[in-house]
Amino acid sequence: MIDSPEIAEQVGELMDEGVSPGSAFHVTLDEDGDLVWTAEDQQVKVKYEKDPETSAWDRFVIGFVGMLPIEDQL
C-alpha cells in the first residue's frame, strides 16, 4: 500500500479514463440471452453482436476452451 495523494490522484484519473464512454464496452444480454457489447464512438452508440476487438481465431479459442470441463479447477 502506498500512502501518496499524488499517486492516488494519478490512479484515479487512469481509472476514469479506462471506463470513459469512448474506451469501454457496456455488456448486456439481448432478448435471446446472447451477449451484446455497446460502446460510444464519437458520441454515437455502436452495438456489437460479437466480442469486439477479437479475431475469428480468438473467438474460436474462447469457445473451445469454454467447452472444457474445468469449472471445478477455477
**pLDDT tens digits along 50-62:** 988 899 999 999 9
Whether the model pTM is above 0.75 = no
CA proximity to 24, closest of 50, 45, 8: 45
d(CA 58, CA 54): 6
SS3 19: coil
SS3 4: coil
**pLDDT tens digits along 17-50:** 877 766 788 899 999 999 999 988 777 888 999 9
Question: How many residues does the structure list for the chain?
Answer: 74
- Written as one letter, the residue type at 42 is Q
Region of 21 (left: φ > 0; alpha: ψ -120 to 50; beta: rest) is alpha
